[in-house]
Amino acid sequence: MSENKNIESDCLSLRMRAAVSLAWSLLARKIGGKIIAINKEASMQLQFSYLLQQLLPLIVFHKSESFTLELESGVKIGKANCEIDVLFTGTSELQTHKIAIEMKCYRTLASSGGKRGATDIFMKDVYEDLAILERYVDVGHAHEGIALVMNDMGRMVHPVQKKAKCWAYDISHGTTFGPIKLSTPIGGKDVNIELKNKYTLDWTRHGDFWFLEVQGQLCGNDEVNNEREAVI
């Protein structure tokens, strides 16, 4: 989890970023402590947004400031219609700042009670979320993009080995990557993912669950793209 030292900052964007981290930290604690039950991404989005909404009045420091949250915010990227899981907007006399948030949840048991499986698709989807967040920023729908991820499968976070092709989309603790291009097929479907930023995955455990907050960092001009393929 990111530090929340900027929650009192005079800078609107820093305050917003810190509020996201604080809301996510609180949600992780509550899920880990079995105060809140999360079975799928929809409930995760609602619970996170509720906690973040409670923080918004506390980070208004000037009469000119206001904050809004929009779930499943519809936007266009080229000809494609997309939905941002949570769009967090702050305005003041000096600026408007937008943070796009994508969320992913993996439970070994689906909300129906059956075993979920498809860990390879989940791992790939985490990378796809990072790519779409970069696009939101590139085309001006947001100034920042943050991915929030939870799962209850420890072997995805601390694997014993990484031999299967799904590990082309490595989401284990401590993994660093980017810029990178990925094309290993998953679930019989072609994949084409390009990430321009650098990422480090730092999972935190609460109770039976693992939680991740990740945001890409811009790369210097001396860094070049890599291509990574899994050993099948």
DSSP symbols for 172-217: -TT-EE-SEEE---BTTB---EEE-SBEE--EEEETTEEEEEE--B
Written as six digits, the tokens of 30 are 């509550």
Q: Is residue 104 in some structural domain?
A: yes
Confidence (pLDDT) at 228: 42
pLDDT tens digits, one per residue of 50-83: 999 999 999 999 999 999 999 999 999 988 899 9
Does 222 have pLDDT greater than 50?
no
Q: Is residue 222 in some structural domain?
A: yes
Domain of 112, in residue numbers: 5-227
Confidence band, pLDDT 50/70/90 cuts, at residue 167: very high
* pTM as predicted: 0.91
Query: What number of other Cβ atoms are within 10 A of residue 9's Cβ?
Result: 15
CA–CA distance, 45 with 104 (Å, rounded to integer): 9
Q: Is residue 46 in some structural domain?
A: yes
Q: Is residue 41 in some structural domain?
A: yes
Q: Is residue 68 in some structural domain?
A: yes
Q: Is residue 232 in some structural domain?
A: no
Q: Give 225's DSSP letter.
A: -
Query: What number of other Cβ atoms are within 10 A of residue 39's Cβ?
Result: 14
CA–CA distance, 1 with 21 (Å, rounded to integer): 7
Closest listed residue to residue 15, CA positions, set 50, 51, 66, 63: 66
Mean pLDDT score, 22-33: 98
- How many domains does the structure of the chain reveal? 1
Partners of 147 in beta bridges: 102, 214
Does 219 have pLDDT greater than 90?
no
Percent of the chain clearing pLDDT 90 (strictly above): 81
Mean pLDDT score, 130-144: 97
Q: Is residue 71 in some structural domain?
A: yes
Does 41 have pLDDT greater than 80?
yes
On the CB side of 136, how many CA atoms lie within 13 Å of its CA? 30
Confidence band, pLDDT 50/70/90 cuts, at residue 148: very high
On the CB side of 89, how many CA atoms lie within 13 Å of its CA? 12
